[in-house]
């Protein structure tokens, strides 16, 4: 009898050990993972009952089943059901309205999503995610109409567009171009009205712009900006590099820039400075000048820009410079994205319009460089300065001396590199230096728009 009791005790301990081992195995085995599937959907409270709702499901054990149901107070439809187990860790589903149903009377629907994974947890039933989403049904496009715009735009130049966009669930407004640039519109005068400057880059052969309004349900309205295109032929300059230039200015700059560290070949130094350093510097400029305020604007009436008193033009905007060296053609090339002006040594640079200084630092080939934000996405920059009298964050007044011309950066003689940008795109300074052009293409358009808006 005593021997039997010892035997049963051993069996009991073995059973306990097996049980503990089983629980330990389940606790740490991937087959018994206990996390519910992670589910994300593309809609956030609104749906146009037309475009698919994109659903992403993620689970480390794969998906056993997926079901999506749409319900109104009077109807219910199973719109998607997938009961084929899969070991795929990530799966995507598109949920569409029930077949044959394109409109519902209800103002909202309830989307129920249930997803179960392949885990052996929960008595081998797996982990289940179940969630209800109430989606407001909105099938109306935003109201969108062009109120006024410039008659034309010149290659390398600027224009303005003013439009109305209205929707109770408006989510985004943008002006898309044929070359990938998106311009952001600023609220203008009254609620529901917007305005933006747009720009046609020198490097692009053609231009088109489309205003796009989208609401939270995914409804979209589009309207093309009816601009007449005017081509402009920019100079192509073939420049022969000299040994004196490579041994002088380029060698000097190569000792300053990180991009040329360890590079001894003179032509390679030039290529890096003319292309890589320039691109890095312009990236800084474009990021700073791409911003536009979301505050309502009611006035925009800039005076012509004359930054350098008695300044003479010494280099054109948009000049495509192609370099050669001792018979080697196309050693490097670059576009000159400003207007070079010269007067006297260390000539005073004047702000023609007020604004805020958003950058005031050395910037590679541009040397000491203040950049001023004049509002409405319009910026001016002043390169190669010997002195800068305004710092980041400073307010600048019209008529204020902000800097002096100089030789800093990639400059061969004392001058000002004057640039104007519209939301990160360099444009022809000559337009913004011309009183008649500003009136014909910008301020008169604003005045016309104001009259039309005030009639509503």
Could you tell me which of 118, 56, 62 has the C-alpha nearest to residue 88? 62
Measured CA to CA, the distance from residue 424 to residue 377 in angstroms comes to 8
Residues 176 and 107 in one domain: no
Of 6-10, 73-77, 170-174, 257-261, the least confident: 6-10
Measured CA to CA, the distance from residue 140 to residue 223 in angstroms comes to 16
Residue 6 binned pLDDT confidence (cut-offs 50, 70, 90): low
Q: Give 17's DSSP letter.
A: H
Domain annotation covers residue 433: no
Residues 191 and 312 in one domain: no
Measured CA to CA, the distance from residue 79 to residue 116 in angstroms comes to 17
Residue 100 binned pLDDT confidence (cut-offs 50, 70, 90): confident
Q: Average pLDDT over the chain, rounded to whole?
A: 93
Domain annotation covers residue 63: yes
Answer whether residue 20 shows pLDDT above 50.
no
Between the alpha carbon of residue 223 and those of residues 46, 48, 161, 186, 414, the distances in Å are 23, 20, 11, 17, 47
Kindly report, residue by residue over 148-159, the tens digit of the pLDDT: 999 999 999 999
Domain annotation covers residue 447: no
Answer whether residue 268 shows pLDDT above 50.
yes
Residues 293 and 334 in one domain: yes
Residue 30 binned pLDDT confidence (cut-offs 50, 70, 90): low
Average pLDDT over residues 294-302: 95
Residues 245 and 347 in one domain: yes
Residue 377 binned pLDDT confidence (cut-offs 50, 70, 90): very high
**pLDDT value of position 11:** 58
Residues 373 and 272 in one domain: yes
| Structural domain range at position 203 | 143-231
By CB atoms closer than 10 A (0-12, 13-18, 19+), residue 391 is exposed
Answer whether residue 32 shows pLDDT above 80.
no
Of 121-125, 161-165, 187-191, 423-427, the least confident: 121-125
- pTM for this predicted structure: 0.87
Residue 12 binned pLDDT confidence (cut-offs 50, 70, 90): low
Measured CA to CA, the distance from residue 154 to residue 421 in angstroms comes to 15
Residues 270 and 385 in one domain: yes
Number of domains into which the chain is organized: 4
Kindly report, residue by residue over 164-201, the tens digit of the pLDDT: 999 999 999 999 999 999 999 999 999 999 999 999 99
Answer whether residue 120 shows pLDDT above 90.
no
Boundary residue ending a domain (197, 231, 265): 231
Kindly report, residue by residue over 124-146, the tens digit of the pLDDT: 789 999 999 999 999 999 999 99
Domain annotation covers residue 455: no
Could you tell me which of 358, 297, 356, 338 has the C-alpha nearest to residue 421? 338
Residues 122 and 49 in one domain: yes
The size of the chain, in residues, is 456
Answer whether residue 219 shows pLDDT above 60.
yes
Average pLDDT over residues 52-81: 95
């Amino acid at each position: 009898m005593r021997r039997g009791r010892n035997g049963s005790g051993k069996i009991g301990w073995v059973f306990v050990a097996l049980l503990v081992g089983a629980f330990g195995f389940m606790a740490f085995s991937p087959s018994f993972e206990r996390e519910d599937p992670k589910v994300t959907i593309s809609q956030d409270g609104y749906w146009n009952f037309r475009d698919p709702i994109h659903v992403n499901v993620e689970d480390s054990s794969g998906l056993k089943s997926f079901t999506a149901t749409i319900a109104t107070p009077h109807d219910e439809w199973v719109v998607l059901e997938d009961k084929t187990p899969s070991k795929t860790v990530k799966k995507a589903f598109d949920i569409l309205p029930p077949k044959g149903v394109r409109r519902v009377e209800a103002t909202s629907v309830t989307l129920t999503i249930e997803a179960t994974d392949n885990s052996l947890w929960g008595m081998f039933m797996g982990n289940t995610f179940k969630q209800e989403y109430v989606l407001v049904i909105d099938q109306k496009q935003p109201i969108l109409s062009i109120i006024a715009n410039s008659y034309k735009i010149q290659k390398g130049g600027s224009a303005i567009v003013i439009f109305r966009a209205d929707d109770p669930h408006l989510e985004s407004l943008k002006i898309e171009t044929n070359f990938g640039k998106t311009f952001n519109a600023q609220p203008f005068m009254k609620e529901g009205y917007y305005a933006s400057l747009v720009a046609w880059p020198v490097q692009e052969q053609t231009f088109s712009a489309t205003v796009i309004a989208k609401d939270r349900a995914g409804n979209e309205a589009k309207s093309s900006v009816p601009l007449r295109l005017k081509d402009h032929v920019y100079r192509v300059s073939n420049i022969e590099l000299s040994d004196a230039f490579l041994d002088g200015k380029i060698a000097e700059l190569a000792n300053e820039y990180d991009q040329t560290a360890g590079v001894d070949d003179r032509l390679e130094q030039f290529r890096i400075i003319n292309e890589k350093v320039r691109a890095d510097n312009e990236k800084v400029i474009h990021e700073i000048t791409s911003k536009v305020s979301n505050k309502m604007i009611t006035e925009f009436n800039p005076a012509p820009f004359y930054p350098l008193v008695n300044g003479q033009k010494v280099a054109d905007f948009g000049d495509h410079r192609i370099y050669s060296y001792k018979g080697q053609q196309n050693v490097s090339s670059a576009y000159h994205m400003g207007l070079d002006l010269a007067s006297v040594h260390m000539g005073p640079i004047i702000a023609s319009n007020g604004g805020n200084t958003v950058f005031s630092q050395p910037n590679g080939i541009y040397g000491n460089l203040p950049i001023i934000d004049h509002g409405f996405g319009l910026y001016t920059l002043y390169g190669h300065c010997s002195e800068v009298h305004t710092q980041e964050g400073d307010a600048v007044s019209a008529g204020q001396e902000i800097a002096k011309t100089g030789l800093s950066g990639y400059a061969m003689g004392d001058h000002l590199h004057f640039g104007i940008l519209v939301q990160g795109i360099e444009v022809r300074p000559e337009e913004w230096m011309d009183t008649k052009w500003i009136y014909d293409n910008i301020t008169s358009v604003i005045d016309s728009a104001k009259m039309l808006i005030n009639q509503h």
